[in-house]
Structure 1
């Protein structure tokens, strides 16, 4: 799904030679740095760097990785991704199981004034509170936000900043592919998105990585209009999941919109068990 060689090639092509102190002229046809330039600036042999980009060199040292990260101008997220790719053959990360503990679901139920959901590394929504279901217009679990954004044309209008959302999704999946290179479910999802979306294919080829832990999220809900929310991601390290909470600024139009959304869904709430209650029911019925 992801490899060190491809990541190095895309990062090398992104570097402006002038920023690296390399004089250029109008006859230069290479986009970014040449392989021998990266090798020289990193203090490694040209042959060794070529073998890295061809996938023939394994287990580069910490010193080599540090030098490459410096020359290629990697940020903190990209640097961590580089190290994970380089260590894939030494240590394979265990793919998370995808089961949400009842204790975590209880925490989710405590969030009553904002949409909140629990998501795994594949962007599968494993649980969500009532407001999250009302925001996305569907019961949870069962939603995969990557499919929702790239493949469901009828739902594209929900995302007020669709272009940036697609960058976030692809950057997240690139990080996940580096962490869990042997996850068949993730590989299948990436293949499905590649087959179904030209934009996904183009963004995936760029090999950009993103780790979004908080920031603005804007939705255009068909019933309550524009909702400008703040997304905060809370990592659940032992679970391999995240708790996402979408909050509105107090006194804002978005807060009024969330209240309206909650009231619109109140009449139907008693007719159906809550999403998390259904999860608990299925969990409790499992045999140990």
Structure 2
């Protein structure tokens, strides 16, 4: 006879593993703590997370040990901030704890006011902040009109994988679409290796497989490609052909969020990006823009 663990037991253990994985990815420097000379633990220590969250060390340790304890919304909110969770990770944290999020649309802590200011100052160079799942967390005016009218995309659909395989405006802009999408899928597979059990990743994968025959075909190849910059051509409907260099600037561990810029590779592209920025800046600022 097979015994199935109660749902609450499974969720407690998933919560423990999730907290541990998020703690281990953050460096002390990211949260303003000294590294010290005798650090053996990858990322933060348990006592450091407890300190940042204003909770007891023993209590937090019990959480990572999957003990049967109650967690308040206030404590979950503090943990989400201390662990620098993005919007999807925060949702996952509250779901595992079986608690409604009191501020489900709170700004992502990865995107600080200083980073939002930097995005704007990079114009006319298109710039965007993404996490490893390709969720679009923030972007400047030029990026908002680079591949599609991002302001008009529903927040839950602001994901580069989803847009690359389902959004016709985005797809029409990419010149070598088949090759670009093949490489994107390979990068997504490489990133997903560390997140196979996480609901947000599995949900996105299921959506893509259900919505796009093209995605199903390239996903079945099991190709893997590491993250890296490359040049690409985009045919923007507002300003014409653009030749750009795609560059990643990591904001933390290589599996975390990154700032991506699209630098012009010739004078014509630079001039066209300047025109695109003027057009985009004249439009009303909607949710999502920096």
TM-score by length of 2: 0.57
Tell me if the contact between 2:133 and 2:192 (Cα under 8 Å) persists in the aligned partners.
Answer: no
Range with greater deviation from structure 2 (231-240 or 121-130): 231-240
1:224 CA drift (Å): 0.7
Pairs within 5 Å for 1:70-219: 97-98=85-86, 99=108, 100-102=110-112, 103-135=114-146, 136-139=148-151, 142=155, 143-219=158-234
Equivalent residue pairs, number: 181
Per-residue displacement from partner, 1:69-115 (whole Å, max 9, x unpaired)?
xxxxxxxxxxxxxxxxxxxxxxxxxx972122414333323312200
Distance 1:194 1:237 in 2: 30
Distance 2:282 2:276 in 1: 11
Structure 1 unmatched ranges of 5 or more:
1-94, 278-288
1:266 CA drift (Å): 3.7
1:276 CA drift (Å): 4.6
Against the structure 1 CA distance between its residues 141 and 104, is the aligned structure 2 distance closer, same or farther, given a 3 Å change threshold? farther
- Report the secondary structure of 1:189's partner residue: helix
Q: If you compute each CA radius of gyration, which structure gives the higher value, 1 or 2? A: 1
Distance 1:222 1:250 in 2: 19
Within the candidate set 255, 260, 269, 1:244 is matched to 260
Against the structure 1 CA distance between its residues 217 and 200, is the aligned structure 2 distance closer, same or farther, given a 3 Å change threshold? same
Whether 1:233 and 2:248 are equivalent positions in the alignment is: yes
Distance 1:149 1:123 in 2: 11
Aligned CA RMSD, in angstroms, stands at 2.5
- Report the secondary structure of 1:181's partner residue: coil
Tell me if the contact between 2:243 and 2:266 (Cα under 8 Å) persists in the aligned partners.
Answer: no
TM-score by length of 1: 0.57
